[in-house]
Amino acid sequence: MLPVYIIIGVVVVLAIILFVLYNGLVRLRNQVKNAWAQIDVQLKRRHDLIPNLVETVKGYMKFERETLEAVTKARNIAQQASSAGAGERAKAEGELSSALSRLLAVVERYPDLKANQNFLALQEELTSTENKISFSRQFYNDSVLRYNNQTQMVPSNVVASMFGFKASEFFEVTVAAEREAPKVSFTQ
């Protein structure tokens, strides 16, 4: 009789370990999904803000046609990339970020615009949305790191490959333009 009990005991312990590891992986994967949804919300918000911004700024910035067009174009490309994977999307959004920062750098030259209440409110929204994008990206990448570590480390990697938990992609901004300071050209 005794060996039967030992076998049952071992099976039960193994089952419990399996449950714990599996649930841990599911929790981390859900956190990654949730974090991705957060980024998504903020990116959409930025897309929605831009036409409004361009509309407000247009009247004041007669000589900045190119800068404004670049922003609109980058926004449209980014919007089309919405359904693409994390890597491609990050690239399109990075382009948009740099186009926007060029625009906001140029604003310094228009004191009338800087006094416009409407513009100030928009600028606060835009600054905050940029921050929210980078904070949600930060949280997403931390979640992905934790999740990927779990899917690769012993013993949870066994459970991960058994149930098809795949590693997630990081949301990295690889565009060089976002890292360097925005260039302001004084030729018109």
* Chain positions contacting another protein, by CB under 8 A: 31, 34-35, 38, 42, 104-105, 107-108, 114, 120-121, 123-125, 127-128, 131-132, 135-136, 138-139, 143
Q: Which is nearer to another protein, 106 or 159 (CB)?
A: 106
Minimum Å gap between C-beta 105 and another protein is 8
Place of tokens 């333009």: 177
| Nearest one of 110, 41, 102, 105 to 71, comparing CA atoms | 102
Distance CA 30, CA 58 (A): 43
Q: Which is nearer to another protein, 88 or 124 (CB)?
A: 124
Minimum Å gap between C-beta 123 and another protein is 4
Q: Which is nearer to another protein, 75 or 137 (CB)?
A: 137
> What six digits make up the tokens of 124?
């606060």
Q: How many helices (H) and strands (E) does the chain have?
A: 7, 0
